[in-house]
Structures are given as C-alpha cells and as structure tokens.
Structure 1
C-alpha cells in the first residue's frame, strides 16, 4: 500500500533528539505527555551543550545521526477511509548526555 507523505510548505523543519541515561520524573506526579518545561538548553563557549533541570546541570555534545528520522503527523482523509501522513520535521542530529548531572548549589557547611 502506498501512503503519500507531504509537508505543508514543501520543506520540513529540522529537529534534534535528546538522549540521556536514566528517567525524568515530575515532582507533582503529572504525565510527561503533557506540555511542560523540562529545563533550559544552552551552548557553552567550548561548544558543549548544557541542560539545566532545577538545581542540576548536564553536559552533553551534539552528534550527527547516520540515518535521519522523520517526524510525521497522521491525518484521516475526507472520506474517512484514506490515511495521509504529513512530514512535520526531520531529526538530523542528537544531543547526547552521558555523564551524571552536576549539582549547581550545595548546602552550607559542606565542602
């Protein structure tokens, strides 16, 4: 079966994937599927990528993927039987965080 793949303007946005060890959990027990801010992503002067989550900072690096991923949105056709997929993004690179997070603050009196 052939499924048409298109993007709205003929080109797709370029996205990046974040890869890290461990799990992300919300303190309030909410789902990660809901939209919320995870942290702040920035680049250091050395070219490293920094992800700050609360009082922790992770340092990572950008890597190009050998094979890009396509992000698609599924749409039902007007007749209700046909399915169309629209390309909304292309993931060409990933940001890899391998090391443990570094605490940004310490308790007073601890050296």
Structure 2
C-alpha cells in the first residue's frame, strides 16, 4: 500500500530541486499544494508531474480535471478589452490528495 511518505519522497526526489542561487529546497509536507500557495508549479510542469504520478503509482486518471488545478490563463490584453473578469482561481492540489488517490488506485477528487 502507498503511504503518505512514499508520495512525499517521490515528490522530493523528482521535483523538489534546490531553488536557484540559494541552493535550499522548499519544505515539503503532506499538505504541500502543487497548484496554490507560495510555490506554485506552472501548468506545463504540473502536467509533467501528474503524468508521472499516474504512471508511477498506477492511478486511474479518469475524472481528473487538470484545469481545476491549473485553469487556462487569459491573455492580459484580452482581459483588459473584455469584461475584465479575472481568471478562475486554481483549487489546491495537495500531496495528501495524491497519496489518498494512490491508495484507492483512482482519482478521488473531481
């Protein structure tokens, strides 16, 4: 069975590289969010992380809504010329969610 520590360790080894110039790693806990908070991944990196996650932990991705966590960003000029509505806010995608879904073998949150 996949533990919380398995997911945290996979994430640390694969994606928690030292920050440029400081050589420090970002603190990682089971509550770390990939899509919200202080250290947010760009959608391209998010797609890579999630693709590897589904394969590594053999999780069925059916029902996973990538754009819930990384909404499409509106081009700034378009936003200024239209209603000025802001982009959708991303929902948190935490390592806890990844661990729980890995234990279930399917995505549990969408």
TM-score by length of 2: 0.23
- Structure with more strand by fraction: 1
